[in-house]
Structure 1
Amino acid sequence: MSSYPPSGPPRTTTLRQRLADLRGPAVPPRPLDARALAALAANPGCGRRALLDGAGVDKTALAAALGSPAPFGQSQFAIVRGNSFEAKVKGDGGAALLRLVHLHLGGAAEPPGPGARVPDLTAAGPEGRAARTALALREATAAGAWTLLDHPMLALEVAGTPAYLEPDAVVVHPDGRWTVVEIKSFPLIDGAADPAKVGAAARQAAVYVLALEKTAEKLPAATVGHTALLVCPKDFSNLPAAAPVDLRRERSVTLRQLDRLTRVEELAAALPEGLSFDPQRPAEELTEAVAAVSAAYAPECLSACELAFHCRERARAADEAAALGRSVRGELGAFTTVGEALAAAAGHGSPDDPAAAALHRAARLRAEALQEAACRC
């Protein structure tokens, strides 16, 4: 049996205390990074992820305690290849990278010269690095010269606490515009890349744009570009190529989801007192705790969320149609389970329901096609 809710009168707690109780008394909060915030934007309807990330729960440890660990992370080969490519792109004082930015997003500005500015962003701790980055951005904007910020540290307040984000690079243009640069190891083949990977990179870059906008609020001469530059290997070589990526849609979606995270108190208040996601608790209790928060599983979660395997198992056990994918779920209309859809395909749905009629017709056509194939054999 579960150990919650506890006996006795209910406790009144602050939000910080409540979130600490959800993590576990001895569990430090896991800081949010750009990848986690981008994943929130990819699935804005998932209250489970919003609450767990807002509370700083270590979802990797939670998934392992639930018995459904997710094999996240790149291979060592991919990490080495990515680091080697990034070093090549930023070599020689970032000359190649600045040329790509000027070529694709430079506008009427003069091309960067050989002595472009690359300020030192070294400081103690993430707070110090964020302050040093903000100072470098102000100085570069005032100087009106091409400036490359290599791995700057940006701060963005999320759910009342600062999240520290580290983009690959930020370029300051002579006109005061700031451009986010994402360097990835997947290839640009004939000028195009895998749409799913480009989408993930765009969502991540949108988080950096939001953080830069907070810094730019105090600088009237600065503007944050809503077009990032994606730099990847050209075709199957190690030569850098680039493509601009419009971030306006991703920025809007991410901003809405971050606004939702700032109301994480509402999600926490709906849970029973004493509920905890502490990985040290028994798996049965953790399963019940996770089930108390609504989820919106889709197959895309498998590449973005540590709890995806657990949520997939539960979605399949509940016969949820969403487990087949968002596009399939959208086509099924009012049918929320696979069983309901199969019943409609068998002719047991309402004839006035367009989805039921379409499923029944599709099932009839499939049966006819199979029968014709069997006769030809």
Structure 2
Amino acid sequence: MPKAALAEALGSPSGFGQSQFAFMRGHAFEARVKADGGTELLRLTHACLGGGPEPEPGAASVPDLTAAGPAGRTARTELALEEASATGTWTLLDHPMLALDVAGTPAFLEPDAVVVAPDGTWTVVEIKSFPMIDGAADAAKVGAAARQAAVYVLALEEVARRLDPAPEVRHRALLVCPKDFSNLPTASAVDVRKQLAVTRRQLSRLTRVEDIAATLPPGTTFDVTRPAAELAAAVDAVPATYAPECLAACELAFHCRDRARAAGELTSLGRSLRADLGTLATIDEALAATRGEAGDADDPAVAALRRAGALRAEALAGGVRCP
């Protein structure tokens, strides 16, 4: 069941996603980058990453990846990748479909593009509408694009391992953005090795869906036609830790935020703050420690809170003085 529909049924719609204007702008820019059989995109790939002789305009192969359903598109993509690696020519896969095992369940992924170079290397391409000014883009947005590309690289590596010989999947993704304040494309190679290591570690630690389902009360359902109270109880039966970052990535973030605030969870104020306060898990516990009513005095976090509380009380007792 899509989480957006579940959030709507719970009475906490997220409004998650791009604005219509941003979506149209991004779509128009992507179409420009891939125009003429991907001539400009392949030129940028060659300029940033090499891969063989310079691609001739209009000479690249752009296979048809149409198939029935995600599984069919995934199979068609794998076949196209195998054929492209065998031919030794520039090939552009426009919106291929990849599959990645996530806690025992296949997740279907759709990168903007994958380029197969004549030397057999595979490159993930991320096309974004935020600008690259003087060769640099917003660090936070580049980081998000790198994390996204790393997931695609992992899925591509799964495909490559099934081929003999196994092609090389580049650990540098191609990030394509508008140049300066124009709509002209420019590109940069982004090293995603760090993001790959983090993603692998996170995937290895995920609890399998079957194990999570086994812990739920009998009869638990996420059917959105059920009453909101019943749905809320079903969602609450699945452990979740809300943090402000969830607002940018999860459709259920508003629902979880309301629950976290009602319970006074420190993570609702940020994961870094929660980590700084150690054994203190709730806002009430932190306030009690500040007042000296709870907590171990030898705990550095408790000691810091008490010192801060004493300084605040001293400042308030002395009043506000103007220079």
Tell me the CA shift for residue 235 of structure 1.
Answer: 2.6
Structure 1: segments with no counterpart, 5+ residues: 1-56
Whether 1:149 and 2:118 are equivalent positions in the alignment is no
Whether 1:312 and 2:257 are equivalent positions in the alignment is yes
Output the CA distance in 1 between the equivalents of 2:177 and 2:215: 45
Q: For residues 369 and 140 of structure 1, do their structure 2 counterparts lie closer, same or farther at Cα, with a shift above 3 Å needed?
A: farther
Output the CA distance in 2 between the equivalents of 1:362 and 1:112: 64
Structure 2: segments with no counterpart, 5+ residues: none
TM-score by length of 2: 0.90
Aligned with residue 50 of structure 2, among 93, 106, 118: 106
Q: How does 1:1-377 map to 2 (within 5 A)?
A: 57-106=1-50, 109-126=52-69, 127-158=71-102, 162-217=106-161, 218-259=163-204, 263-348=208-293, 349-366=295-312, 374-376=320-322
Q: Spell out, residue by residue over 1:126-148, the C-alpha distance to the aligned partner (whole angstroms, 9 max, x if none).
A: 34433332222122212222222
Q: Do 2:151 and 2:199's aligned partners in 1 also have CA atoms closer than 8 Å?
A: yes
Q: Spell out, residue by residue over 1:331-371, the C-alpha distance to the aligned partner (whole angstroms, 9 max, x if none).
A: 11111111221222234443211111112223344555667
Q: Do 1:231 and 1:241's aligned partners in 2 also have CA atoms closer than 8 Å?
A: yes
Q: For residues 373 and 238 of structure 1, do their structure 2 counterparts lie closer, same or farther at Cα, with a shift above 3 Å needed?
A: farther
Output the CA distance in 1 between the equivalents of 2:166 and 2:288: 62
Per the alignment, in what secondary structure is the counterpart of residue 376 of structure 1?
coil
Output the CA distance in 2 between the equivalents of 1:69 and 1:245: 35
Q: Spell out, residue by residue over 1:307-347, the C-alpha distance to the aligned partner (whole angstroms, 9 max, x if none).
A: 10011111111111010001111111111111221222234
Residues paired across the two proteins, number: 320
Q: For residues 190 and 335 of structure 1, do their structure 2 counterparts lie closer, same or farther at Cα, with a shift above 3 Å needed?
A: farther
Per the alignment, in what secondary structure is the counterpart of residue 291 of structure 2?
helix
Q: For residues 277 and 244 of structure 1, do their structure 2 counterparts lie closer, same or farther at Cα, with a shift above 3 Å needed?
A: same
Per the alignment, in what secondary structure is the counterpart of residue 181 of structure 1?
strand
Amino acid at match of 2:62: P
Output the CA distance in 2 between the equivalents of 1:318 and 1:357: 24
Q: Spell out, residue by residue over 1:230-275, the C-alpha distance to the aligned partner (whole angstroms, 9 max, x if none).
A: 1111232212122222222333343444455672111111111111
Q: For residues 353 and 163 of structure 1, do their structure 2 counterparts lie closer, same or farther at Cα, with a shift above 3 Å needed?
A: closer
Q: Do 1:210 and 1:251's aligned partners in 2 also have CA atoms closer than 8 Å?
A: yes
Q: Do 2:36 and 2:58's aligned partners in 1 also have CA atoms closer than 8 Å?
A: no
Output the CA distance in 2 between the equivalents of 1:351 and 1:88: 62
Amino acid at match of 2:57: P
Per the alignment, in what secondary structure is the counterpart of residue 236 of structure 1?
coil
Q: Spell out, residue by residue over 1:174-215, the C-alpha distance to the aligned partner (whole angstroms, 9 max, x if none).
A: 221100001011122333333333333223222222221222
Output the CA distance in 2 between the equivalents of 1:311 and 1:134: 38
Amino acid at match of 2:68: G
Q: For residues 210 and 365 of structure 1, do their structure 2 counterparts lie closer, same or farther at Cα, with a shift above 3 Å needed?
A: same
RMSD: 2.3
Q: Do 1:144 and 1:176's aligned partners in 2 also have CA atoms closer than 8 Å?
A: yes
Amino acid at match of 2:233: E
Q: For residues 248 and 372 of structure 1, do their structure 2 counterparts lie closer, same or farther at Cα, with a shift above 3 Å needed?
A: farther
Stretch moving more, 64-73 or 152-161: 152-161
Output the CA distance in 2 between the equivalents of 1:371 and 1:106: 68
Q: Do 1:121 and 1:152's aligned partners in 2 also have CA atoms closer than 8 Å?
A: no
Amino acid at match of 2:13: P
Per the alignment, in what secondary structure is the counterpart of residue 149 of structure 2?
helix
Q: Do 2:61 and 2:90's aligned partners in 1 also have CA atoms closer than 8 Å?
A: no
Query: Post-superposition, which runs of at least 4 consecutive aligned residues in structure 1 deviate over 6 A?
Result: 370-373
TM-score by length of 1: 0.78
Output the CA distance in 2 between the equivalents of 1:160 and 1:132: 22
